[in-house]
Amino acid sequence: MWYIDTDNVVSVIGLRNVETGAYVNNATITGILYKSSALRPIADGPAVDKGSGLVGIPCTAHGLASGVVIRIERTINYNAEYLVNAGSTVNEIVVTATYTAEVFTGEEFIYEAIVGTIAAPVSFGYVSASDGDYVGKIVYTSLLLQDESYVLCLKEISGSEQVLAKIVGIAGFQGL
């Protein structure tokens, strides 16, 4: 579980080892915050090899500007973070990626990153004498909207318990 307070402080509460269930108090954690309200389902259609290391992802009327950072989830080959390329069109998002054939079903999702968390991902520090509790501050020029939903993507979880890599992914959050 995690939450954000009114000072843009993010807390991860009760981080556990997925195999043993034990609390983990020695991890290094960084993450990026995404707008869940900017969730954009991908239209049915194939990935397109644009050449020169670029791939077109079909997405009808996505509205994403060039340079925006996104995270694509629920695909077979393209679950990752990308920068929207200038070659994107109204119905296609172009990203830098190794092309692999894939036909999207419409079940995939795109999350738009909150700008301040890209340049400076949230670094979480362990809170002493706690059970898997970590705290980090979002570097963002304004307060996050407390009535908006956000998604936290843990980019790195490392330490002596490498099994934690299994939990990297998207977790939902509703503002206070």
pLDDT score recorded for residue 163 = 31
Read off the DSSP letter of residue 104. E
Expressed in percent and rounded to 5, the helix, strand and coil fractions of the chain are 10, 40, 50
Helices (H) and strands (E) in the chain, counts: 1, 15
pLDDT score recorded for residue 87 = 94
Predicted confidence pLDDT, tens digits, the chain (176 residues): 555 555 666 677 777 776 777 877 777 777 777 776 555 666 778 999 999 999 999 988 888 889 888 888 889 999 888 999 999 999 999 999 999 999 998 888 888 887 655 556 777 777 766 777 777 766 654 545 444 566 666 666 665 443 332 233 334 443 33
pLDDT score recorded for residue 73 = 83
pLDDT score recorded for residue 102 = 96
C-alpha 125: how far from chain center = 19
pLDDT score recorded for residue 101 = 97
C-alpha 141: how far from chain center = 20
pLDDT score recorded for residue 2 = 54
pLDDT score recorded for residue 99 = 98
pLDDT score recorded for residue 89 = 94
Measured between alpha carbons, how far is 134 from 137 in angstroms, rounded to an integer?
A: 11
pLDDT score recorded for residue 86 = 94
Question: What are the residues whose beta carbons fall under 8 Å from the beta carbon of 27, sequence distance 6 or more?
Answer: 15, 126, 134, 157, 158, 159, 161, 164
Q: Which of 165, 153, 175 is nearest to 70 (CA)?
A: 153
70 three-class SS: strand
Q: Which of 156, 65, 175 is nearest to 113 (CA)?
A: 65
pLDDT score recorded for residue 37 = 58
User: What b-and-e string marks burial along 75-91, b requiring 16 or more CB atoms within 10 Å of the CB?
Assistant: beebeebbebbeebeee
pLDDT score recorded for residue 133 = 74
pLDDT score recorded for residue 123 = 75
